[in-house]
Structure 1
Amino acid sequence: MGSLSAKRMQTSTRGFTLVEMVTVILILGILVVGVSSFIIFGTRIFVESSSVDQVLSQSRFAVERMTRELRSALPNSVRVNSDSLTYQCVEFVPTEASTTYLSMPIAPNATALTGTVILNATDKIKENQYIWIYPLIDSDVYNSARQKRAQIKTFTPPGEPPNLANQVTLTFMASTRFAEASPRQRIYFASAPVSYCFEKVPSSNELILQRYTGYQFNNSQPRPIDMGAGVLMAQNMINSFTDSSDLPMTLTPSTLVNNAMVHLQPRFTVNGETFQYRHQVQVINVP
């Protein structure tokens, strides 16, 4: 009776054999490798898809922002310059308001300090703003030699006495005489030029897109280094400045019968893959 109990106790306390332990370790190792590979693969897919989504969102925002601003550009203010190695820039003047003038000092009349326009309370007019009448070429916008541009000193807001009929008198910074009258008596208001520049990163062949504003009007189009600090709009682009078929943008100038056209064609790269926009922006040429 006692020997039988001892055998049962010995049987119940016996551990795993070496073969059993090795088998369990192998099975657990296979499971860990399989699960870890699945987790790593899923994480890699998530990271790559997040990178692609970020570049897509950034590129769409940049192209849409450029499109909206170019469409509101002052007629004949768009101009493009480039360096075959480092940058390509488009410059224009975003129109903040436009209306009809009633009386302005226009050649051959004498110079004057004031002019009268029709304004609504919603028009974005402010002091120190610039005005243009009948700009036909980009030098009419950026160069005041032909007197197509003047700067506002003061004005009485529309809807307030004595301008209840929205006939507002503008006072200029200096005595002014515009070179030509507009056939439709149109006048445009804006504050400062804007530039979008595709620039090559010195440490790589990738390009970035930056937006510049807050600088002064220049007779010749300025370089990025002359415009101060820019705001980063997009990156991860790989266009070439030396290949005319691969430029990030081109300009088709306006004519007497056609509007100007800006062709945006930046190429983006992410995770070894590339995609390209081919977008045309029409810039109204009705001064």
Structure 2
Amino acid sequence: MTIRAGSGGFTLIELVTVIVILAVVGLGMVNFTRLGTRVFVDVTQRDQLLSDSRFLVERLNREIRTALPNSLRVTGNSNGHCLEFMPIRWSTYYFTLPVAPDTGTEAEVAYVTALDTLVPPPYTLQVGDQAIVYPLVASDVYETSDKSVAIDSVSAPVGGKVTLTFADTASFPQGSPSQRLFVINQPVSYCALADGSVRRFSGYGVNAVQPQLQAVDGGVLMAENLVNQLSAAAGSSSDDPFRVVPATLTRSALALVRLRFGRDAEVITFNNEVHLPNAP
């Protein structure tokens, strides 16, 4: 058998051609893998952004709906905007109430649980609890007002009723047209800050002038990546996160919430109109 010279190998041109083909295929596979990874990362970030923002909006909506009537107020500047409200610890109807010019030390209120011997009471007295009747403006809630009175004790339920005893002789300036009585304690604030975070503050006390809270004051981080353009005066811009529309004779008060969250080029906007169902 005759073997011709050079028939057992590859030429330089063949080797270079194979190397070029492998490089092109490898580059295509790398780009494909990179694209798939980027899509996965983008979807994961978008899902995380949507999940975090939905949690905040749902939590905020639920808390606002249980706020004391006429207790919502907004303050802020370019460093942050805060929505403050007074949560209701317990709401009920009263049967007797000391109203001026009469004075007294107690009020008889409804106990809404029928089988009071079988279930825990809906309200347990805490330090700092106040009974408030017919708050019409925020100053009735946050400033020194005779519309709120400190509660000293709560009686055991008798016949579907309990008696609230006040620390001092009390006299509410006027009663509620629907005989409503609310128990309150400490306010809550949600603040959208210039660093892109939204924080929830509580336990900072009742203040006549709404405080401008910041991250240095603590608070619980509720969300990040907020991209709202905060105006120098809260409520003066359509992009401000919080606005409050007072109640009228035909509707309850409204809390207008506009929150925009963004990451890279992705922006999610939530526009909410929260109605306060309670009436004083």
Same fold (TM over 0.5): yes
Residue 144 of structure 1 aligns to a residue whose secondary structure is: coil
- Partner Cα separation in structure 2 for residue 227 and residue 262 of structure 1: 26
| Partners of 1:97 and 1:125 within 8 A in 2 | no
C-alpha distance after superposition, 1:205-244 (max 9, x if no partner): xx32111111211111111049931111122222222361
In the other structure, the counterpart of 1:133 is 133
Q: What does residue range 98-177 of structure 1 map to in structure 2 within 5 Å?
A: 98-112=91-105, 114-119=106-111, 120=113, 121-128=120-127, 129-145=129-145, 147-158=146-157, 163=158, 165-177=159-171
In the other structure, the counterpart of 1:54 is 48
- Partner Cα separation in structure 2 for residue 130 and residue 46 of structure 1: 53
Q: What does residue range 1-287 of structure 1 map to in structure 2 within 5 Å?
A: 4=1, 14-83=8-77, 85-112=78-105, 114-119=106-111, 120=113, 121-128=120-127, 129-145=129-145, 147-158=146-157, 163=158, 165-201=159-195, 207-225=196-214, 228-242=217-231, 244-284=237-277, 286-287=279-280
Residue identity in the other structure for 2:148: R
Compare relative contact order (CA 8 Å, sep 6+) and give the higher one, 1 or 2: 2
Task: Give me the CA root mean square deviation.
Answer: 2.4
Count of aligned residue pairs for this structure pair: 268
Residue 279 of structure 2 aligns to a residue whose secondary structure is: coil
Stretches of structure 2 that go unaligned for 5 or more consecutive residues are 114-119
- Greater shift in the superposed pair: 176-185 or 71-80: 176-185
| Partners of 1:260 and 1:285 within 8 A in 2 | no
Q: Give the drift of 1:258.
A: 2.9
C-alpha distance after superposition, 1:38-95 (max 9, x if no partner): 0000111111111111111111111111111111111111111112x21111111122
Q: Give the drift of 1:123.
A: 1.8
* 1:122–1:28 distance in 2 versus 1, CA, 3 Å: farther
* 1:170–1:43 distance in 2 versus 1, CA, 3 Å: same
TM-score, length-scaled by structure 1: 0.84
- Partner Cα separation in structure 1 for residue 110 and residue 62 of structure 2: 26
Stretches of structure 1 that go unaligned for 5 or more consecutive residues are 202-206
- Partner Cα separation in structure 2 for residue 33 and residue 167 of structure 1: 79
State the percentage of identical aligned residues: 38
Residue 265 of structure 1 aligns to a residue whose secondary structure is: strand
Q: Give the drift of 1:98.
A: 1.0
The structure that has the greater radius of gyration is 1
- Partner Cα separation in structure 1 for residue 177 and residue 243 of structure 2: 30
Q: Give the drift of 1:130.
A: 2.2
- Partner Cα separation in structure 1 for residue 94 and residue 264 of structure 2: 55
- Partner Cα separation in structure 2 for residue 226 and residue 15 of structure 1: 73
* 1:76–1:127 distance in 2 versus 1, CA, 3 Å: same
* 1:154–1:228 distance in 2 versus 1, CA, 3 Å: farther
Residue 74 of structure 1 aligns to a residue whose secondary structure is: coil
